[in-house]
Copies of this chain bind each other. A is one copy, B any other.
Amino acid sequence: MATDNRNIHRKIGRSTTRTKCPAPFLSKTYDLLEEQEEENNNNNNNIKVVSWNGEGNGFVVWCPDEFSEVMLPKYFKHNNFSSFIRQLNTYGFKKVASKRWEFHHEKFQKGCRHLLAEITRKKCEPSVFPTYLNPSKKSTLLLARNNQENTTRQLLMEENQNLKKEKMELQLQIAHFKTLEMKLLQCLSQCVENPHNKTRRLF
């Protein structure tokens, strides 16, 4: 196993001064391009394996097979092109051509190593559950949690409904009492004014 003298990046990368230091993957990919660029310049006759693109705002893997077999193991712990692509996607790079392996990232540009520290890993959508729970367990937990929440809400809503119904009934009673009071008062007034009338008919 070749010793990896780029580990220094990683060591600093994990420290609390993270803002100063890009992720190891980014530094290594940048290193790879810079070192390959130098080699490309020295041997104009050779076919390029990987290089910055014309504008210097992205890079192209010209020979994926050679890149994977020869270059990847020099910088990473594997020789799989797909793992390299997976990392590019993780850090938000975009494939910008359909017929060649050209990738862009706003903050990944030739001569701008200082921009690397501004590139962050894409975050997955926040899930409220740890990844090791299988979907069935997740649904069970979801149901449990929802059930608990729903039970409280359900009880409150039921109570609300009942209270509203009771209120309506009470208001209805009051309406009847008001009518009754009115009639009684009417009746009384008639009674007082004409004590000998039959007032019962009001009821």
Measured CB to CB, the residues of A under 8 A from B are 1, 73, 77-79, 121, 123-124, 126-130, 132-133, 141, 149, 152-153, 156-157, 159-160, 163-164, 166-167, 170-171, 173-174, 177-178, 180-181, 184-185, 187-188, 191-192, 195-196, 199
Contacts and interface: CB of A to CB of B under 8 A. Distances in A.
12 contacts: A1-B78, A121-B132, A123-B132, A149-B149, A156-B156, A156-B160, A160-B163, A163-B164, A170-B171, A181-B184, A184-B185, A184-B188
B195 A191 contact: yes
Contacts of A156: 153, 156-157, 160
Q: Which of A78, A149, A156, A199 is most buried by chain B, counting CB atoms within 10 A of its CB?
A: A156
Nearest to A125: B130
Contacts of A163: 160, 163-164, 167
Given A1-B73, A126-B133, 15 more contacts: A1-B79, A77-B78, A124-B130, A128-B129, A167-B167, A170-B171, A173-B177, A177-B180, A180-B181, A181-B181, A184-B184, A184-B185, A184-B188, A188-B188, A191-B192
A123 B192 CA distance: 88
Given A152-B153, A167-B167, A126 B123 contact: no
Contacts of A184: 181, 184-185, 188
Nearest to A159: B160
A130 B127 contact: yes
A157 B152 CA distance: 10
